[in-house]
Amino acid sequence: MLAGTGTVDVRDISDQKVAMIEENIERAGFKNVKTKVWDALERDENSIGKADIVIADLPCSGLGIIGRKPEIKYHASLEGIRELAGLQRQMLSVVQEYVKPGGLLVYSTCTVNTMENEENARWFAESYPFDPVDLTGRLGAAVEEETAKDGFVQLLPDKNLCDGFFISLFRKKESQDT
């Protein structure tokens, strides 16, 4: 999609996941994708204000993929979900710094839990200089959620014929005054 004009910087805390990503990059023949093992809680001074788009696909309870991974129900707890929601907020607090003014931040999870999704998206919009972006028409005809106009959609396994996912989109304000 970048037609060779930009760079995609992919990060994960896991060596194993980064290795899998690198295999996919090589198989696809991409030349403008770089990988790095990196803890999202650790601030990267060299990345502040440089990204046109940050996609923060953060760790979550996984309740949206319970159909494919039924063992999730044996490990899920309210306390664990609270901890994950807090971790997501910590990560968003760091990665939002990488977005340049006017740039976009996508916050996504593979869960259907409101604490990890809508509540965190609302917290983010209230805490940082970002505005929700209308998603209407951006995700294809199969995704026509009423909340898209508010900058987020909650996909449900039975309704949307996919796993359960949450996607929200924010644009960083051009200046702190707006």
Task: Identify the active-site residue in 95, 110, 112, 133.
Answer: 110
Q: What are the residues whose beta carbons fall under 8 Å from the beta carbon of 125, sequence distance 6 or more?
A: 131, 132, 151, 170
In the block, tokens 């977005």 appear at 99
Side-chain half-sphere of 71: how many Cα atoms within 13 Å? 0
Per the annotation, the verdict on 60 as an active-site residue is no
Q: Which amino acid is at 125?
A: A
Helices (H), 44-77: 72-75
Residue 109 near residue 166, CB atoms below 8 Å: yes
- First and final C-alpha spacing in the chain: 31
Q: What are phi and psi of 128, to 5 degrees?
A: -130, 160
Pick from 67, 171, 82, 73: nearest CA to 129: 171
Which of the residues are catalytic? 110
